[in-house]
């Protein structure tokens, strides 16, 4: 019988692609989210929430930044045979919400939201199936001013989180300009879809491969260090030169816009994108956001089936070392752009929209390595030991006195004896314990034991006599002075 029970027990194991989160990280995340929320509120954005689950058809036929229609989502069928899915981002549910409530919302509608999203994808190192995003969107404005404001807000958020100017940058470009480039170099139209994708992916790899690597992918192809060959787009020399000039990283915003004007003078859509970038650039300068914070970067290629105009990406520029001493480069911690086609899927009229999404988990990991998370700001609770179970009411009164004074405290509620209670307090990381046995009660006293100091003193003690002489870690005080004595002891932490 016992063997059968053992066989039927479920195995305690974490699902692949998911992770547990401990108390310190939760507190650090909450602090980070409060700071982000404060910036968004300062810009006049309002909070709104949508549910984790939407009708599958409401989420659309594609994922952002994915070329896998109807894949990548967790779905199930309801009793009425309707398909439901866990949300894969926060933007598609927002589009549904705006379409459903448009008559009640101001135009433009400026909102922010944060929460978990889910991707049914193959997990890998640092790549999870559940992660948190924090979004801000303006729905109902076609003005480039709305795009520019989102970029400025992203820059302000980085600095509010303690990332110094010069160690982050918000990179901006425009999908219309990219479309104009595709026209000019001869890879527009459905018949050139494959070559166009090669060109866009080559541009996207500028930071990693450098200009020479990009030029190879634009031409016949590139062989990497392992000997693997990647087929190129087979552009002619003139086409490669156009893209090379537009990707020149040494140009400032004015020169980059002038270059777009020159090279794409015959592309209507390219000129539309240029004018939007020009207007955004003027707004950045007027508001004091120079190229050390926000800059034009043609290598920003996002959401090929998703974004319709300006696109942006926030990148951390500094390197740091992880717990093992390995060098870590953070790269992108957020991005977004204009998605004018998403809300109009539900209604007959066009509804312009733009927004920015922060990858909360990725950004938190970066802040942690940079020492900006302040996860240790919350002390573990003071533990009141239960020396006599008949006197649990007295111990509960002590806990209530401490809590009323704003001190985190708990009474031990397990069944263990004193050694087990001390071990519990130590595992909790408690700064001190409160002890009142029969002797202390008779004297009208309580004993406070500083666990951290006691551990430090004990580590250097070589004899029992020496240990007995080290009484700084333990002190007896009148019971009436419990709160003031605990506060004094905690001030040393």
Q: What's the pTM?
A: 0.83
pLDDT of the residue at 3: 60
Query: Mapped to the 3 state alphabet, what secondary structure does 247-293 carry?
Result: CCCCCCHHHHHHHHHHHCCCCHHHHHHHHHHHHHHHHHHHCCCCCCC
Asked if 365 and 316 count as a contact pair (C-beta separation under 8 A), the reply is: no
Give the per-residue pLDDT at 320.
Answer: 67
DSSP state of 471: -
CB neighbour class for 425 (10 Å; exposed up to 12, middle 13-18, buried from 19): buried
What is the sign of the dihedral through the CA atoms of 465, 469, 475 and 476? Answer: positive
- The pLDDT assigned to 449 comes to 93
Mean pLDDT confidence for 80-92: 90
Report how far apart, in Å, the C-alpha atoms of 314 and of each of 17, 104, 295, 368 are.
25, 33, 10, 18
For the record, the structure tokens of 406 come out as 């704003």
Per-residue model confidence as pLDDT tens digits over 106-157:
999 999 999 999 988 888 777 789 999 999 999 999 999 999 999 999 999 9
Reported as a single tens digit per residue, the pLDDT across 235-278 is 889 888 888 888 877 777 788 888 888 888 889 999 999 999 99
CA atoms within 13 A on the CB side of 402: 25
- Percent pLDDT > 90 in the chain is 51
Asked if pLDDT for residue 70 goes beyond 70, the answer is no
Tell me how many helices (H) and strands (E) the chain has: 18, 18
pLDDT attached to residue 457: 44
pLDDT band at 60 (very low <50, low <70, confident <90, very high): confident
* Bridge partner residues of 137 (DSSP): 111, 355
343 pLDDT more than 70: yes
Structure confidence at residue 433 (pLDDT): 95
Tell me the sheet residues that pair with 326: none
Mean pLDDT of the chain: 87
List C-alpha distances in Å: 460 to 187, 236, 245, 316.
74, 75, 67, 44
22 φ, ψ (degrees, to nearest 5): -90, 175
d(CA 75, CA 54): 10
| Of 431, 415, 411, the residue nearest 486 (C-alpha) | 431
- pLDDT value at position 469? 46
pLDDT in tens, 428-471: 999 999 999 999 999 999 999 999 765 554 444 444 444 444 45
Q: Please tell me the least confidently modeled range out of 93-97, 417-421, 489-493.
A: 489-493
Is 43 or 199 the better-scoring residue by pLDDT? 43
pLDDT at 293: 96
């Amino acid at each position: 019988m016992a063997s059968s029970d053992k066989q039927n027990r479920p195995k305690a194991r974490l699902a692949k692609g998911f992770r547990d989160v401990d108390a310190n990280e939760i507190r650090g995340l909450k602090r980070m989210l409060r700071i982000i929320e404060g910036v968004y509120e300062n810009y006049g954005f309002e909070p709104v929430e949508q549910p984790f689950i939407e009708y599958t058809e409401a989420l659309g036929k594609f994922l952002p930044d994915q070329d896998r229609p109807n894949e990548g989502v967790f779905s199930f069928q309801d009793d009425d045979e309707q398909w439901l899915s866990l949300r894969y981002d926060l933007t598609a549910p927002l589009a549904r919400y705006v379409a459903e409530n448009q008559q009640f919302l101001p135009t433009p509608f400026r909102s922010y939201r944060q929460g978990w999203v889910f991707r049914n994808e193959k997990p890998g190192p640092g790549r999870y199936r559940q992660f948190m995003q924090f979004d801000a969107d303006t729905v109902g404005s076609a003005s480039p001013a709305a795009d520019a404001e989102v970029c400025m807000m992203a820059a302000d958020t980085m600095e509010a989180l303690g990332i110094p100017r010069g160690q982050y940058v918000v990179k901006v470009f425009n999908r219309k300009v990219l479309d104009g480039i595709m026209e000019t170099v001869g890879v527009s139209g459905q018949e050139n879809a494959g070559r166009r994708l090669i060109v866009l992916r080559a541009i996207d790899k500028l930071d990693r491969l450098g200009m020479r690597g990009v030029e190879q992918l634009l031409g016949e192809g590139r062989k990497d260090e392992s000997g693997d060959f990647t087929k190129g787009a087979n552009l002619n020399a003139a086409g490669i030169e156009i893209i090379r000039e537009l990707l020149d990283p040494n140009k400032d915003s004015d020169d980059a816009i002038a270059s777009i004007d020159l090279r794409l003078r015959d592309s209507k859509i390219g000129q539309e994108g240029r004018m939007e970038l020009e207007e955004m650039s003027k707004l950045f300068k007027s508001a004091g956001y120079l190229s050390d914070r926000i800059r034009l970067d043609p290598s920003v290629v996002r959401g090929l089936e998703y974004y319709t105009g300006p696109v942006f990406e926030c990148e951390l520029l500094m390197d740091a070392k992880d717990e093992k001493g390995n060098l870590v480069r953070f790269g992108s911690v957020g991005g977004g752009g204009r998605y004018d086609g998403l809300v109009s899927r539900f209604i007959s009229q066009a509804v312009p929209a733009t927004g920015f999404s922060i990858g909360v988990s990725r950004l938190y990991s970066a802040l942690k390595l940079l020492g900006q998370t302040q996860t240790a700001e919350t002390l573990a609770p003071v533990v009141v030991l239960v020396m006599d179970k008949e006197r649990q009411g007295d111990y509960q009164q002590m806990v209530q006195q401490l809590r009323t004074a704003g001190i985190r405290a708990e009474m031990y509620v397990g069944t263990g004896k004193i050694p087990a209670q001390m071990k519990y307090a130590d595992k909790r990381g408690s700064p001190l314990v409160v002890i009142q046995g029969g002797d202390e009660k008779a004297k009208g006293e309580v004993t406070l034991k500083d666990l951290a100091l006691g551990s430090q003193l004990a580590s250097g003690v070589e004899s029992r006599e020496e240990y007995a002489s080290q009484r700084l870690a333990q002190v007896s005080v009148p019971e009436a002075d419990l709160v003031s004595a605990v506060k004094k002891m905690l001030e040393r932490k």
